[in-house]
Structure 1
Amino acid sequence: MLLSTRRFLFASLSVAVLGGSLYWSRLQSPAVAPVKSVDSYWAETGLQAQSLEDLLGPDTCASSERYFLACANAVVSIANRFNLTVETTGNIHPVSEGLSQDFSTEKKQIAIWRQFFTEQTEVATKFSFMNVWKDLKENHIPENQSSLMVGVGLNGFISIFRDPHTYLMPVAMFKEVVSRADNRLTTAGVQVGRADGAYVIRKVLVGSAADRAGLKRGDIILKIDGKPVQALLQARVNELLKGNEGSKVTIFVSRNGERIRKKLQRSEVVVATLTTQVIDGIKPIAVIGLNKFAKGSCDKMKVALDVVNKAQVRGLLFDLRDNPGGQMEEAACIASLFVGADKKIFDIRYLDQAKRSEIYYGGESKVFDKPVAVLINAGSASAAEIVAGALRDLNRAVLVGERTFGKGSFQEGEYWTQNKKIALFETKGFYYLPSGRSPQMKGLEPDVAVNFDHISMDREEDQFVNPLMAPERHVRSLKSLISSKDCLDTEDGMANEDVQLNKARQILFCSKAIAGVN
């Protein structure tokens, strides 16, 4: 039974808990659902250990390298939740603070297990993942987190055995958190990236506890609640920063060699889906930021563009940085506001070749015909890549910033046969831009590259052991929309610390990305 009727496209940044692209649920969620912890959602499912133990037996784990690595990822993912590592001897021990090796991704976590299997196959096939699981269950996992840990283990297994965007999620969590139109977060208020092998604050959310405490972009995170974070998956670091509203978290950071300790009280932060700003000047422009392709985003975009048109701006900066995606229907609708109803925005092709491909048109009349520059970075994924890529392919915008994440697959959700309180989201195919390209694994290269700075985010091919590859199709070449890469607008009324936005503004009027250019 299908859980929903609308495909979602989100970056799978956390295979242990969230992951992949989603369907929009037909089930009605409460008007204002309480923000609960991930642990609570999984506990409500009543998921039992047997579901994981059925996969960790020796006959399964020893049957092939892929099964072996899937079993390893299951137990390593669970251990990671408790700041533990699992050795190839089967020993479990705490992560030491001085550990220098980078274990921030699934790919890096599993590298030692791949080497172990390759070099000592006979020994490796006798390794007991079941014993490791039992040790974790009996000595490290609190009873109230048992269902969550089984879910983490199952998703760790699925990520390698199937693909990193197929996953399980509590239905209630999907309805009350993921499918909502707003971004309601109960968090310390920072977004994390990587720099020089360390976890670094990439962004501080305005009005959050971290903002009030004076944490800054570029601060190196050393510990969260006393736990060294160096050897943790980035998804786990993000989870440590979240929690119940009113709960406290202690963050230990380094700034210019100085060690700083901050105790924060988590609070609910609502991130606006869309923001609009009009910048006056000799050549007035607008900046529209879209944080998520949520239900109703296209209607909000229409309102924003109406405001922008009335302001008689000369061009638009469309900011899709750190936008993880959302509903593909909303993406197609928003793109059509710039190109018209009759332009193909993208098409999808199924892994099941018996299913016919589907073409998506936005269906809306063009409402904005001035130059457009789209800002992108490594956090721009899925539906954000659809819109950015389609506008460029249709000669309607130039892209400024960094190469995008590279998520071009889509998932469809059904109730899991083993537990109806859990949904299984399976990868069903890939989407392709008008040029015939799919951003899967490759991402979108900007027309004008401006690195965010030295703080990075791991992309699709960097994170996973078995990343998906989209089948090749005929790809047409693209024309350059930049009339002169050396052309700069000298007006300085908008200069600020945002180098990507400044650069986008500088090249906006050197671009041929206007209506009528084909």
Structure 2
Amino acid sequence: MWFRGRTVIAMMVLTAIAASMATYAIFEFPDWGFRPSNGKPGVASTEVAEGLQQKDLDKFNKAISLIEEGFISQTDRSKLMDGAIQGMLESLRDPYSVYKSAEEAEKFKNDLQGAFTGIGAELRVENGSIVVEAPIRGSPAERAGLQPRDILLSINGESLHGLTISEAVSKIRGPKGTKAKLKVQRNGAPEPLDLELVRDRIDLETVHSSVEEDGIGHLIITQFNEDTAVQVAEQLQTMESAGMKALVIDVRDNPGGLLKSVVNVADQLMAKGKPIVQYEYRNGQLQVESALKGAKNNKLYPIVVLVNEGSASSAEILAGALKQSANAVLIGQTTYGKGTMQVSFDDELGDRSLLKLTVYKWLLPDGTWINEKGIVPDVVVPQPNYFLASRLPRDYVLKYDMTGGAVANLQTILAGVGFPADRTDGYFSEATKQALESFQASESLAVTGEVDEETAQRLEEVLYVNLQNPEYDKQWKAAVSKARELIDVAS
């Protein structure tokens, strides 16, 4: 199965797709000395006071009493407690440290195991806004046009500003087959975008592979969950049996996942003893995680890694580890830049609720911290603009002499379907009309030179088909070219 590097066209309303997914990328890692009083890896008990002092308890109890006795509406003690803990996490001003109630925690654990109902995007809260960290490859979010750092403004007309992740997800989720209309603010766009999804359930496979006739393997990893390393091992064995000579690993739009998963994946692709990642606690102490087993039968082959701005956290760990410890070549665009790690405390609170807390930095094998910077690839290759196209309007017709962002988007799509206009500046010129008429004629549509609902739908469908074709993927073609070059050098 082929998945393109950035499938971001928004017309996928005709495909059964899903509604929403909570942030799922967390890290689990070996304990190396930092433990609170309960014995869980985390903050050293010698560094902080244990529990609340009496003055803290008095203040807390007084606040609850005032709320329960004086608030205008009936209150729920359990919700007050959840809110208090949520407030503590929000005061840290860290978008990756979150609290989830027992019900939310159960959904979170299911998501980690690869089955969820959602749009397939990792979300976070930043300054009160719901921000897309990365859409998952081949997911509804990607098909609908969501991009890293998009801000979700509203769902079906309801504002998402000021909500927690869990609150936003509860609004986005809904019965299978119902529509979710998202309003999205994108950096650089003059006005918000309207994207429409159809809710459904997703059972996500995280690993796909194929081997080209010239011996170049293509391994796509869409996220790192509990089964990913096992799937990678199986796919590598299949590809090696098929005569693979070089490997292209594709982690574009991979938002991350479990640290133990990516470490186990990296271990299979480098020599035993090579460093994979470093962990740094707040006191500066470092620990290096190295390959314990190494590549099977010491079989090492040239590796190229495809990355983009949606490659985050665990995906960046893999890319950085393979670059520095397996001589891999990185191709694509600068990665997201998430250099912190979270521990999920799921037993400590005693009621099945969950606290996910940022406790470590992670560093590249050479000690570089890529947080908010990302990893710059060895070969920078941007995709054509039509990979970033969005949904065409359905509530009005685009026609000659109009101007604006919708027309610029049309001109971008026309280039992607093989009928480029004379300009891309958003003016509906005579040449734009002629290009559109040529497209309509080729698709047996009414040749009007205008974009009505039928023409908009067909433009988007044809673009989607084209973007599944590797010939349209400049990053993939660059990776294949580099892989062939490395094969020649190795031989």
TM-score grouping bracket, smaller chain normalisation: 0.5 to 0.7
Shift of 1:244: 4.1
- C-alpha distance 417-409 of structure 1, shift in aligned 2 (>3 A): same
SS of corresponding position for 1:299? helix
The 5 Å alignment of 1:206-225 reads: 224-225=155-156
The 5 Å alignment of 1:99-498 reads: 151=82, 154-155=85-86, 158-161=89-92, 163-170=94-101, 173-174=104-105, 176-178=107-109, 182-187=113-118, 224-227=155-158, 239=169, 242-246=172-176, 248-251=178-181, 265-280=198-213, 283-352=214-283, 357-366=287-296, 368-414=299-345, 420-452=351-383, 495-498=470-473
Shift of 1:444: 1.0
Task: Check the 8 A contact 2:134/2:312 in 1, yes or no.
Answer: no
Which sections of structure 2, spanning at least 5 residues, go unmatched?
1-20, 31-55, 125-129, 389-468
AA at the equivalent of 1:161? L
Task: Check the 8 A contact 1:182/1:272 in 2, yes or no.
Answer: no
- C-alpha distance 252-22 of structure 1, shift in aligned 2 (>3 A): closer
Cα separation, 2, equivalents of 1:289 and 1:383: 14
Shift of 1:138: 6.6
- C-alpha distance 498-167 of structure 1, shift in aligned 2 (>3 A): same
Cα separation, 2, equivalents of 1:335 and 1:424: 28
Query: Scaled by the length of structure 1, what TM-score is found?
Result: 0.53
Cα separation, 2, equivalents of 1:436 and 1:450: 26
Query: Scaled by the length of structure 2, what TM-score is found?
Result: 0.56
Cα separation, 2, equivalents of 1:274 and 1:350: 32
Cα separation, 1, equivalents of 2:176 and 2:99: 28
Cα separation, 1, equivalents of 2:92 and 2:133: 32
Q: How many residues align?
A: 352
- C-alpha distance 331-513 of structure 1, shift in aligned 2 (>3 A): farther
Cα separation, 2, equivalents of 1:382 and 1:299: 20
Shift of 1:430: 1.9
Cα separation, 1, equivalents of 2:265 and 2:304: 15
Shift of 1:402: 1.8
Cα separation, 2, equivalents of 1:209 and 1:162: 26
Deviates more, 1:505-514 or 1:289-298: 505-514
Shift of 1:399: 0.9
Cα separation, 1, equivalents of 2:157 and 2:120: 18
Equivalent residue, structure 2, for 1:503: 478
- C-alpha distance 384-285 of structure 1, shift in aligned 2 (>3 A): same
SS of corresponding position for 2:117? strand
Cα separation, 2, equivalents of 1:513 and 1:331: 29
- C-alpha distance 439-267 of structure 1, shift in aligned 2 (>3 A): same
Cα separation, 1, equivalents of 2:133 and 2:317: 28
Q: For residues 291-339 of structure 1, what are the alpha-carbon distances to aligned partners after superposition, in whole Å with 9 as ceiling and x for unaligned?
A: 2222232222121111111222332210111222223232222212221
Task: Check the 8 A contact 2:272/2:295 in 1, yes or no.
Answer: yes
Give the number of the structure whose alpha-carbon radius of gyration is greater. Answer: 2
Task: Check the 8 A contact 1:276/1:304 in 2, yes or no.
Answer: yes
Q: 1:21 aligns with which of 16, 22, 26?
A: 26
Which sections of structure 1, spanning at least 5 residues, go unmatched?
1-15, 26-49, 58-129, 457-493
Cα separation, 1, equivalents of 2:141 and 2:337: 32
Cα separation, 2, equivalents of 1:261 and 1:164: 25
Task: Check the 8 A contact 1:19/1:165 in 2, yes or no.
Answer: no
- C-alpha distance 204-408 of structure 1, shift in aligned 2 (>3 A): closer
Superposition CA RMSD, Å: 5.2
- C-alpha distance 169-388 of structure 1, shift in aligned 2 (>3 A): same
Shift of 1:174: 4.1
- C-alpha distance 310-387 of structure 1, shift in aligned 2 (>3 A): same
Shift of 1:155: 4.0
Task: Check the 8 A contact 2:338/2:372 in 1, yes or no.
Answer: yes
Equivalent residue, structure 1, for 2:395: none
Cα separation, 1, equivalents of 2:337 and 2:61: 30
Cα separation, 2, equivalents of 1:207 and 1:359: 32
The structure with the greater share of residues assigned to strand is 1
Task: Check the 8 A contact 2:330/2:377 in 1, yes or no.
Answer: yes
SS of corresponding position for 1:406? coil
Cα separation, 2, equivalents of 1:319 and 1:362: 24
Shift of 1:159: 4.0
- C-alpha distance 178-343 of structure 1, shift in aligned 2 (>3 A): same
Task: Check the 8 A contact 2:340/2:358 in 1, yes or no.
Answer: yes
AA at the equivalent of 1:331? V
Deviates more, 1:308-317 or 1:149-158: 149-158
Task: Check the 8 A contact 1:335/1:362 in 2, yes or no.
Answer: no
- C-alpha distance 284-415 of structure 1, shift in aligned 2 (>3 A): closer
- C-alpha distance 371-207 of structure 1, shift in aligned 2 (>3 A): closer
Shift of 1:252: 6.5
Q: For residues 379-425 of structure 1, what are the alpha-carbon distances to aligned partners after superposition, in whole Å with 9 as ceiling and x for unaligned?
A: 22222111110110124211112222222222333358665332323
